[in-house]
Structure 1
Amino acid sequence: MDQRTSGADALIQKNDAAPALLGVVCGLSAALFWALGFAGTRHGLKVGFTPVDLLVHRYVWSGIAFLPLVARAGIGDLCGIGWGRGLVLMVLGGPVMSLISYTGFLFVPLGHGSVIQPSCATLGGLLLAAVVLKEHISASRLAGALVIVGGLCVIGAESIGHIGSDGVFGDLIFVLTGFMFAGFGALLRRWRVSAVSAALVINVLSLLLLPIYLATVGLAHVAAIGVTENAIQALAQGVLAGPAALYLFAVSVQRLGVARAAVIPACVPALTLLVGWLLLGEPPTMLQVAGLVTVLCGFYLAQRQR
């Protein structure tokens, strides 16, 4: 092999590495933005927002941003998804699920919801893939599911031993929302709807809730909390955890491929605990850390193909 061939090979490797690096950066940025969304929810509830207030911040701004895209693709049939399927997806993966999830943070700390919800989404996804979609579940994924259950038991033990019945109720809320999101993912696969199209449609459909909010709740309560706090929620919920994270994750999937990009959401629980500690002053307990480490091991096994 001469020097010219070696130089060409090095250039090819460099060109291949650049898209992969961009995919990793975009994926980690998306995970960080989702973590900031979790932390923003916890902070918002502390300063006086209700779960419904946060829901409006989460979907109104992103709905406005996505409306031109849905209108261009065809709002009559919701980008080809259809109104019936679109409404079902909105319940399982949109504002209904988010409202229930926000309520959970009234009962348990950040370290519970940010770990339990994605963990149960993974468990529910594996279960529905096997039962409904008739997919083969490998031994590695089954082992990963069992390890995740073990991690959830560790976190649940903290609720039982230190928080009480409210903690158990809060944990169960995140179990429910995790399984709701798993159902959302299973329907996407069964109906062959792209995640990006579904996200666009859900956010735009959620604009229908704004008139109901204005008529029943009004703006006096959120206005009294102040411009700064509302701006924080608009940024955290409506921009970072919404369109920004969605776009960055889509770029990550394009650059890394579906299999490798699927590992990215597993980073969210750890990043959420870190963000909660640094920004909200909520250091994770030893049981939360132990549960998180166990769950991450389960995520690793569940993502393996063998």
Structure 2
Amino acid sequence: MGFLFALIAVTIWSGNFLIASGFVDEIPPVTLAALRWLTATAVFLPFVRRDLQRDMRALLDHRRELIVAAVTGVTLFNTLVYVSARTTDAVNMALFASTTPVFVVILARIFLGERISPLRWAGLAIAIAGMLAIATHGSLDVLVHLTFRLGDVIMLAAGFLWAVYSILVKRKPPTISRNAYLGATFLLGTIPLVPAAFVEQCFAPAWSFTPAVLGAVLYIGVLASLVAFFLWNSAIMHIGPGNAALFQYFMPVFSGIGAWLLLGQPATMVHAVGFVLIFSGVVMATRPR
């Protein structure tokens, strides 16, 4: 079930990357992040109000860890992804997104004692090769002539923050229920985004709340935030952050499928080869022996 939860969460998040690229000129990044998490929090809190009240003492006792989880996983991670989409291209975003599972595996070894076997390193390398094949369309020339920009550094920082969040989820105190933990991180992570979005309006170009923007906000607010985060946290509790993080290499595969179905972008043999490499690498890295 842990593997299935991680796979579904990554499938949903692949759509989030399509929205991040497709709406880069439609709505400012911090505002998009604020609308996303306001939607997720507003939908989720009525269902977890009793869980929050019951676990309030434990939440207060572990408030520092909760605040760090909220800031890394909610406030900053996706906001930085949206900012990165405005200052770099999709190839570089995919390249630096591939560092996230490596960060998670290393941090899981340091803080959780998860063993890094030679087979896991080999699986990581094969999965990265598959991701690069898709991101560069199988062209070594694209990889050799990459130019690095501010957005690349931002994406790298986002990957590290997501790794920190994943480790904190695994270390969730047993006295806090899963619903209360998720509800508290949503609420605490959303609070800083609201004033930040108002400040952004003073500098960002004017934008309008069109039906397309509304649909995008509902998708990233309900599916990519509420549903996917619940599945991701469940996956981490079942199989650990190291194993769950490896499924993030499927994002370029699912994003490519979505672009083919929704945007009419072609699917090539490179995509098939990349999928085989990613699938093989993930299987190798998650096998117990």
What TM-score do the two structures reach when normalised by structure 2? 0.75
Residue aligning to 1:132:
111
Residue aligning to 1:92:
72
* CA 92–42 in structure 1, closer or farther in 2 if over 3 Å, else same: same
* CA 100–215 in structure 1, closer or farther in 2 if over 3 Å, else same: closer
What is the aligned counterpart of 1:187 among 149, 159, 168? 168
- Cα separation, 1, equivalents of 2:87 and 2:267: 16
Q: Are positions 1:228 and 2:206 aligned together?
A: no
Matches within 5 A, 1:36-115: 36-45=15-24, 47-74=25-52, 76-77=56-57, 79=59, 82-110=62-90, 112-114=92-94
- Cα separation, 2, equivalents of 1:196 and 1:52: 26
- Cα separation, 2, equivalents of 1:81 and 1:281: 51
- Cα separation, 1, equivalents of 2:198 and 2:83: 22
Amino acid at match of 1:105: A
Alpha-carbon contact 1:53-1:222 (below 8 Å) kept? no
* CA 114–161 in structure 1, closer or farther in 2 if over 3 Å, else same: closer
Aligned length: 277
* CA 74–252 in structure 1, closer or farther in 2 if over 3 Å, else same: closer
* CA 302–112 in structure 1, closer or farther in 2 if over 3 Å, else same: farther
Alpha-carbon contact 2:27-2:207 (below 8 Å) kept? no
Larger CA deviation: 88-97 vs 211-220? 211-220
- Cα separation, 2, equivalents of 1:59 and 1:124: 25
Q: CA deviation at 1:272?
A: 1.2
Larger Rg: 1
Aligned to 1:305, what secondary structure does the other structure show?
A: coil
Aligned to 1:134, what secondary structure does the other structure show?
A: coil
RMSD after superposition: 3.9
Larger CA deviation: 208-217 vs 125-134? 208-217
* CA 145–164 in structure 1, closer or farther in 2 if over 3 Å, else same: same
Q: Gaps spanning 5+ residues in structure 1: where? A: 1-19
Which whole-Å deviations, capped at 9, do the CAs of 1:68-94 have from their partners, x for residues lacking one?
A: 345322364574673211111122212
What is the aligned counterpart of 1:32 among 11, 18, 41? 11
Q: CA deviation at 1:53?
A: 1.9
* CA 72–268 in structure 1, closer or farther in 2 if over 3 Å, else same: same
Q: CA deviation at 1:303?
A: 1.4
- Cα separation, 2, equivalents of 1:162 and 1:252: 37
